Structures are given as structure tokens and as C-alpha cells.
Amino acid sequence: MTQRAVRLAGSLPPIFGSYRPDLFRAEDAARAAIGGADSRPFWVSFTLTDAEPEAVAEGRRAPTVRSGESIAEAARAALDLHAQALLFNCSHASVMEAAIREATAAFVGLPIENRPAIGVYANAFAHHSHSDEGAANKGLSDLRDDLGPQEYLAFARHWRDAGASIIGGCCGIGPEYIAGLVAALRKNG
């Protein structure tokens, strides 16, 4: 059996406020993130505003992070933190491609070796109606019945073509989805 290097990615919940942008303290979060990164690879991820996913997908509304900043601002934050990857997570699959395109555009002009990788891991919620009030995940709805593994793979191909090199899944995206991604995308499909 051939040995190969495997990377294990860990994930921490949002620092200083989960789905509560009103509680977010950027300075504290940045200090905590930098202090915890040490010499390990450091990735940052943002959830996106996805109250109107069709408007974002159709280009009628710009994608933003849940706390209201632009994707360009998120990209600058990733660069300032020397992150090796900028990801977008736990948001509607339809808003991801626009965010990837804007992040990719924000890194144009940088040498390839200085550009963070871009990645996504969308969720499968039918309506993602996070409220700024109450506990995290309050107001989340049922899973979409129109987003099976093949439909998710179709989104993933668009994400890859837009510039994502890291693709996974979040809430409602099960092992069968990931297996489909690995089988299809590993062979450049």
C-alpha cells in the first residue's frame, strides 16, 4: 500500500458571535485567529448573506458576507491575516459562485503564490433565514428537496470553473454528496 500525505482540516465555530453580526468584534476575532494560527496552515471562512439567493445568482444583487461587508473586504481581510485559503460556508448554494468570482477578482494582480486558495462548502437549507436576533440556527428551515448529490455536483462544477479549488459541504450535505464530488471532480469531470 502506498503512503500519501493527508491533511485534516479542523473548524472552529464563529468567534465572538454565531449568526449575530451585531455581537461581532473584529479586533478581538482577528487577535484570536492570529494567536491560534501559529505555524499551521490558516484558512478563514465567511458565511454569506443569502436571503435573496436568486437575486445574487442572477447578478441583481452583489454577494456580501453576513455582517454586510463586501467580498472584496473579506478578501482583503484574508490577505491581512496571511490566510492560505478564503472560504465561504454554510450559505445557499446559489450565492457561492458570485462570491467566488468576486474573491478571484480581488486577488488579480497578486503573484499566484501569494493568492489564498478559494473554497466553498454550501448548505442544503431550503430557506436560510438567519435572524439577527436569538440563538444561532434559529429560524432555519427544512432541507431542500431539489438539491441531491447530482445537483450539488452541478453547482460544484460551476464553483470550480469560477476559481474554487477547495469544495466541500456544510449543513445537509451528507457523505454521499462528498463521495460524488470526489469521484467526479478528481477525474476533472
pLDDT tens figures, 89-124: 989 999 999 999 999 999 999 999 889 999 999 999
pLDDT value at residue 19: 56
Whether residue 114 lies inside any domain: the answer is: yes
Whether residue 7 lies inside any domain: the answer is: no
Show the cell assigned to 158. 460551476
Chain centre to alpha carbon of residue 120: 4
Structural domain tally of the chain? 1
Instruction: Flag residues of the chain having pLDDT under 50.
Output: 129-137
pLDDT value at residue 42: 82
If one counts every other C-beta atom within 10 angstroms of the C-beta of residue 106, the result is 22
pLDDT digits (tens, 9 = 90+) for 140-155: 568 888 899 999 999 9
pLDDT value at residue 140: 54
pLDDT value at residue 188: 62
Looking up residue 142, the CATH number of its domain turns out to be: 3.20.20.330
Residue reference for cell 479586533:
27
Domain that holds residue 74: 41-185
pLDDT value at residue 31: 66
Whether residue 27 lies inside any domain: the answer is: no
Whether residue 46 lies inside any domain: the answer is: yes
Whether residue 138 lies inside any domain: the answer is: yes
117-123 vs 85-92, strand pairing mode: parallel
At 139 the three-state DSSP class reads: coil
Whether residue 140 lies inside any domain: the answer is: yes
Whether residue 1 lies inside any domain: the answer is: no
Whether residue 34 lies inside any domain: the answer is: no
pLDDT value at residue 186: 80
DSSP string, 74-125: HHHHHHHTT-SEEEEEEEEHHHHHHHHHHHHHHTTTS-GGGSPEEEEEEE-B
